[in-house]
Structure 1
Amino acid sequence: MKIGIISDTHSKVKKAEKALNILVRDGAEFIVHAGDIVELETLELLRDCGLKYVAVYGNNDAHLAQYHGDFNLVQEPYFFKIANTKFKLMHLPFYMSPDADVVIFGHTHTFDSDFKGNTLFLNSGEVCARSKSISEWAMLEVSKREFFVTHYTKANNSDNINQKQFKYKREHNE
């Protein structure tokens, strides 16, 4: 299963739309937003992309609580299971314990893909391109024996999308 991951979109709705379009084009079957959504329009993009999704509140998202019932918004830490894989989703990296197969987080605006003790810790980086001159997001492909992570980057004022891939062997306990 392919899971598209975005985070820290902030007010950059067009950048969020570009990232989502590429994830859908590349076969994402589910979308995760790791917080700091900020704009209602970004939630609408998630809802309207044609895929199931989940989005966690970030530290800049309190104003979105009024739309909680209209979108699949969750509070951190949020545990869920898809593709026979247990996930923990949060924005703030405060719950970094290996109590899931995959821990997805945001907030730092820095891409991170680290496999420790059979847990993948994954931050897709910032879509908003606030801290650096690139927008970034990720695709996680889950198989029974491996995790494949694709890190996407797009420089501001460029149409080129760069990709870097990471592969991790996993023990799968069913």
Structure 2
Amino acid sequence: MKIGIIADTHTKVKKAKRAIDTLIADGAEFMLHAGDIVDVEVLNLLKQSGLRYEAVYGNNDAHLFQFHNQFNLVQEPYYFKLSNTTFKLMHLPFYMTPDTDVVIFAHTHEFSIEFTGNTLFLNSGEVCARNKPLSEWAMLEIKDDEFVVTRYTRANKSDEIKKEEFNYIREKQ
């Protein structure tokens, strides 16, 4: 299963659309937004994608509560299971315990990936390109014995999207 992951879109709807469109073109079957959505238009993009998705509230998303029932908005930490894999989705990196197979977080605006024990900790970085001159997002492919993470980056004012792949072997449970 391929899971598209975006975070920290803030007010950058066009950048969010480019990230979502790229993930769909590359085969995403499910989407996650790790918070700081900020603009309801980003939620509309997720809904209109036709894919199942979950979006967690970030520290800049309190105003989106009025749309809670219209979209798949969840509070952190949000636990769920996909493709025989357990997940914890959150915005703030406060619940960084390895109590699931995959921990998705954001807030720092920095791409990070760490495989500790048998838990993958993943921050897809910032779509908004606020703290650096590029947008970033990720795809997580879940295989029986492996996690494959693809990091996407796009420099501001460029049409080129670069990809970098990371592979992690999963222990049999």
Counterpart-to-counterpart distance in 1, 2:134 and 2:48? 25
State whether structure 2 residue 12 is matched by structure 1 residue 12.
yes
1:98 lines up with 2:98 in the alignment: yes
Other-structure match for 2:55: 55
Instruction: Report the 3-state secondary structure (helix = DSSP H, G, I; strand = E; otherwise coil) of the residue aligned with 2:128.
Output: coil
Q: Deviations over 1:48-73 (max 9, x none)?
A: 00100000000000000000000000
Q: Which residue of the partner structure matches residue 75 of structure 2?
A: 75
1:46 maps onto 2:46 in alignment: yes
Residue in 1 that maps onto 2:137: 137
Report the TM-score when normalising by structure 1: 0.99
Where do 5+ consecutive residues of structure 1 fail to align? Answer: none
The one-letter code matched in structure 2 to 1:53 is Y
Ranges in structure 2 where 5+ consecutive residues have no aligned partner = none
The aligned length equals 173
Q: Which runs of 4+ in 1 moved over 3 A?
A: none
Q: Distance in 1 between matches of 2:73 and 2:63?
A: 12
In 2, distance between residues paired with 1:34 and 1:40? Answer: 14
Provide the residue aligned with 1:112 in structure 2.
Answer: 112
Name the structure 2 match of 1:168.
168
What is the letter of the counterpart of residue 88 of structure 1? K
Q: Aligned with 2:68: secondary structure?
A: helix
| Percent of residue pairs identical | 68
- Distance in 2 (CA, whole Å) between partners of 1:171 and 1:52 is 28
> Which residue is 1:126 aligned to?
126
- 2:13, 2:130 → 1: CA distance? 13
Separation (CA, whole Å) in 1 of partners of 2:86 and 2:172 = 11
Mapped pair 1:85 → 2:80: no
Give the C-alpha shift of residue 171 in structure 1: 1.3
What is the alpha-carbon root mean square deviation over aligned residues? 0.4
Quote the offset at 1:172 in angstroms: 3.3
